[in-house]
């Protein structure tokens, strides 16, 4: 009788262990899948940004770039270092600069 109860207890323990291992596997798989999806999204976003930058560079090289994202600003009151002074131009390059 004790032998039978002992075997049943071992079976219950083994079943719980398998269920716990399955649960751990599923959780790890979800984490891995989420990390992989995030990594792919980051790679895709970087590729899109590189593609847009390449298009802008090629357009600028051809001289037909009408899209200017960065504009030249003049600040007559403050310099970029925080002091006051004369006319200070921005460091951004635009097509008006001839580039």
CA distance 11 to 90: 76
Running along the chain, 99 residues long, what does each successive block of 10 average in pLDDT? 89 96 97 97 96 91 63 52 50 53
pTM of the shown model: 0.46
- CB contact at 8 A, 94 and 72: yes
pLDDT at 72: 53
- The CA–CA distances, whole Å, from 45 to 39, 40, 41, 49, 80 equal 10, 9, 6, 6, 32
Can you name the residues that pair with 84 across neighbouring β-strands? Answer: 78
- Measure CA 38 to chain center: 8
């Amino acid at each position: 009788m004790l032998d039978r109860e002992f075997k049943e207890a071992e079976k219950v323990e083994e079943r719980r262990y398998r269920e716990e291992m399955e649960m751990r596997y599923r959780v790890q798989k979800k984490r891995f899948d989420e990390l992989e999806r995030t990594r792919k999204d980051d790679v895709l976003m970087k590729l899109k940004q590189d593609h847009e930058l390449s298009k802008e560079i090629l357009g600028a090289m051809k001289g037909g770039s009408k899209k200017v994202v960065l504009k030249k600003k003049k600040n007559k009151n403050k310099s970029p270092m925080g002091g006051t002074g004369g006319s200070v131009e921005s460091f951004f390059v635009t097509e008006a600069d001839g580039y």
